[in-house]
Amino acid sequence: MSLIPWKSKRPAEDAGESSLVDLRREMDRLFDAFFRSPLEWFERGLTRWTEAFPPVEVSEEDEYLLVRAEVPGVDPKDVELSVTANVLAISGQKKESREGHEQGYLLCERQYGTFRREIALPVAVDAEHVQAECKHGVLTVRLKKARQAVGRRIPVKGA
């Protein structure tokens, strides 16, 4: 797989400053979002907006962790997953869907290129029991919690 740099149509920042600039932008956005609609901001709770692709969602069931990612325009064949006990790495490539690009764009908001994200998992998982599917641009990864991570009900004996 050839590596194509992740392209953003936003103006390029100085490489050394990019993380700070990103942080600043992120803060600006949160600030804006809060004042535009404080109610919505509170309703979202854990939601935080990020520039990282793909955006993910991590949720928990009794025996499973569920990681979802929105990957519109990514061919499932171009997605790679790797799992250790505490980290799920999602990498892949979002191909530009049309030839003759760079010219004739009236609007260009979608990003494309290679991506990689490492998601720290809140509990240890069993790397042998992972299922993944990608449907309509939504990747769903179901990871079985490691046995020691599943809460066990402990009966309490009376005297």
Partner 1 sequence: MKTSQSTVQSGPAAGQAERTRSGQTYRPNVDILEQPEELVMLVDLPGCQGDQIDVRFEDGELTIHAPVAPRQPAGTRYWLREYGVGDFYRTFRVSEQIDSQRMHASYAQGVLTLHLPKVQSAQPRKIPVAVGG
**92 burial via Cβ count (<10 Å: 0-12, 13-18, 19+):** buried
Q: In the window 93-152, what residues touch partner 1 (CB under 8 A)?
A: 97-98, 101, 104-111, 119, 122, 136-138
Tell me the DSSP string of 129-155. EEEEEEETTEEEEEEEEPGGGS-----
CB of 3 to partner 1, least distance (A): 21
SS3 35: helix
3 binds partner 1 (CB under 8 A): no
SS3 26: helix
Among the candidate windows 18-26, 39-47, 141-149, 151-159, which touches partner 1 by CB under 8 A? 39-47
CB-nearer residue toward partner 1: 104 or 155: 104
* 84 CB-near residues (< 8 Å, 6+ apart): 127
CB of 78 to partner 1, least distance (A): 10
- Give the footprint of partner 1 on this chain (CB under 8 A): 9, 37, 40, 44-50, 52, 55-61, 66, 68, 70-76, 97-98, 101, 104-111, 119, 122, 136-138
